Every structure is written in C-alpha cells, then in structure tokens.
Amino acid sequence: MYCTNCGKKLEGSEIKCMHCQTSTNKKKNNTVKVKALVVVFIIVAVNVVGILFFRLHIDKQADNVMTYFAQSDYDKAVDLYNKYKGQSKSFEDKTLTNLKYTIEQIKEDFISEDMEYSLAQKQLKIIESFDIMGLDLIIYDTASWIDKINTSRENYLDAKAYYEQGEYEAALEKYGLVLKDDSKYYDLAVKEINLILLEEANKKEEELKKMTLSVPEFESNSFTFSYLEEDKEILFAEFSFPILIGETPAYESINLAFEHAKEYYMNQVRRMAEDARLNVHEEFFKPSGFGISYAVEYNNNGILCIVLNGYVYSGGAHGYPLQETYTFDLATGNRMKLSDLIADDKAFAQLVIDEFQRMYELAPDEYWEIRLILLRIWPII
C-alpha cells in the first residue's frame, strides 16, 4: 500500500505516512462510502428500469388483447386481460378505451353493412365477458340500438316485398316503421313511399277519369213495406232507387239527389196511407199501391241518364203511371237540363217532330192524330 500524497510505500497498517505525515484512514473511508453509494445507485436504477420495463410490458398486453380480439381469438383476449387485470391501472384504462372504441366500430360496421347482425351481437357478448365496470351500460345501449336497426331493416325488406307484389297499403305500413337512424334504408323507404303515393295518385286520377265518363257500378236501394189498419192491409209500397258506387264528389251529389227523390215519394205514400185509413170501411175499398223502380237509359261520355218509373193506385178503376228522368253531368254531379244538351232548339224540335211522324206512319192506329201529338210536345220544346 502506498501513500496517496507522496507515493512512498507504507508499512503495515500505518495511520500516518512516516515520510509526509499524511493520514491514510480518511481516504480509505471515502473510498468505501463512494463504493457503497455506487452500489445503491445501481440497485435503485435496476429496480426502476425493471419496473418501467414491466409496466411497458403490461401496457403492451393491452394492445395484444385487442390484437387477439381482432383476430377473433376471443378466449385468448379474455384470458390475457384477466391475467394482468389489477396489476396496472394504465393497462386497465387502455383496455377500457380500446374496447369503447371497438364498440363504436361495431356500430359503424353494422350500420354500413360491413358486419352482420349475428357477428355484431356476438362481439358485444364477448366484450361483456371482460366484466369491466362502466362498459355494461354502453354494451346494453349498443345491443338495443343494433336490435332496433335490424328490426328496421327487416321492416324495409317486408315493405319492399309488399311493394313488388302491389300490396301498397301493407307496404306503406311497413315503410313507416323504418328508422331515420338507418339513413340508407330510411332514404330508400322515403323514395319508395313517394313512388307508391305517385302511383296511387295516378291510379286514382285514372279511375276518376273513367268514372267521369261512365258509372262503373250500381247498387240498388230496394225495400217494401205495408200500412195496416185493424190488421188489414191498406197500402203496399215497393221502392228501388239507384246508388252509384265510387268515391267522387259527383257521385255523392247524385246519390243525394236520389235520396231526396226517395223522401219525396215516401211523403206521398204517407199521405196516401192517411187517405186510405179514412176509406178503409167503405164497401168497395181496395188497398192502395205505390211502386217505384229505375232504369239506366244512358251511361256514357260523361252523362248519366236514369229514369224513375212508377205506378200509383189509390182506388178507382185503375192507377196511373209515373215517370221522372234524371240526367247528370258525371264530372260535376249537377243535374242537366235539356238546354245543356241541345245547342240548336229549333233543329232538335224538328228532329222530334220528324220522329213522331215516322212512328205515326208506321202504326197510325196506335196514336192520336199527328196534330195532337205536336200540340203536346210544342210547350215542352
């Protein structure tokens, strides 16, 4: 051992150098302290670095969890998460963030039709199995939303099928159940609803056009009834009036006109019944009768002509006939007059005269003298 000051060799364990009197114990102590500090530093550094690398390793496992999940190796993903759960908050936070992002991606993939319904629900179930606090409500809301969108798409497909089969009412009902959140199918539904409405409008317009040319269908409002006095029939009535089938304002107006005609004749029947009651005890009393029927004489070119034919008997040798003509404009429902149909009154009058003349000449015995016929028609014209 040598003196650190003069470099002379020291003998044994001298505390001081015999040559320069420098103490050797202090230096020795300092060396020990330095060595100890270096060792402590190395130990601390190793531990810090080890902890740092361990945490980086654990945090890396969060990415590995998602790698396994993306590869559909769901069991490994869950097992890896459970292995490191509770060892690092950053690992758990990162996994939570990654899974939240994955849930959003599932929604986007499903709405864009890059993922089927069954796979979307399966992946949500796998995420639920991680049993991470804070995800349960997100998973439930997402699964419910996907269910609603899936049902909405099923409604669209049902509506499309109904539409192609021409069952427009059922199609409109199903189209109305398509959700706005599913923008692609919602826009398609709106487009096809508009097509249906346009087709229905065109169809209705075409039907209306046909219905203004002629009445496609009639029903009869037919009924019979009797009036009795002391169990004796004093009047029998039988009525039949037309009903136009179709939903147009014109048809409603025409049907109302025949409803008024029915009420008019019913009032006549009531008055006849009162008269019959007054005469029921007469020796030669006979029950009264009233009948009305109809005939469609013309139904074309936007004009409907119906004739009410009737027969009334209120006692005596015979009854008398009734006849009333109803001519309507099918576009408006207004009752037409002769002047609405005839542009030239004089030409029409001559046509009528010529026709009666022809009929008379064919069978003169069946008619009065021609001059009497002309006298009867002139006031009408």
Digit-coded pLDDT (tens) for 256-301: 999 999 999 999 999 999 999 988 888 888 999 999 999 999 999 8
Max avg pLDDT among 18-22, 322-326, 359-363:
322-326
* Average pLDDT value over all residues in the chain: 84
| pLDDT the model gives residue 3 | 66
Which tens digit of pLDDT belongs to each residue from 131-147?
888 889 999 999 999 99
Under the banding of pLDDT at 50, 70 and 90, the label for residue 50 is very low
pTM to 2 decimals? 0.51
Q: What is the 3-state secondary structure (H, E, C) of the chain?
A: CECCCCCCECCCCCCECCCCCCECHHHHHHHHHHHHHHHHHHHHHHHHHHHHHHHHHHHHHHHHHHHHHHCCCHHHHHHHHHHHCCCCHHHHHHHHHHHHHHHHHHHHHHHCCCCCHHHHHHHHHHHHCCCCCCCHHHHHHHHHHHHHHHHHHHHHHHHHHHHHCCCHHHHHHHHCCCCCCCHHHHHHHHHHHHHHHHHHHHHHHHHHHHHHHCCCCEEEEEEEEEEEECCEEEEEEEEEEEEECCCCHHHHHHHHHHHHHHHHHHHHHHHHHHHHHHHCCCCCCCCEEEEEEEEEEEEECCEEEEEEEEEEECCCCCCEEEEEEEEEECCCCCECCHHHHCCCHHHHHHHHHHHHHHHHHHCHHHCCCHHHHHHHHCCCC
| pLDDT the model gives residue 364 | 77
Tell me: pLDDT of 44 over 70.
no
Q: Looking at residues 3-14, what average pLDDT do you find?
A: 63
| pLDDT the model gives residue 15 | 58
Q: Out of 66-75, 110-119, 198-207, pick the least confident.
A: 198-207
The more confident residue out of 185 and 360 is 185
| pLDDT the model gives residue 311 | 95
Tell me: pLDDT of 187 over 80.
yes
Under the banding of pLDDT at 50, 70 and 90, the label for residue 51 is very low
| pLDDT the model gives residue 381 | 45
Q: Looking at residues 77-102, what average pLDDT do you find?
A: 87
The more confident residue out of 255 and 209 is 255
Max avg pLDDT among 19-23, 61-65, 138-142:
138-142
Q: Report the CATH fold assignment for 218-338.
A: Heat Shock Protein 90 (3.30.565)
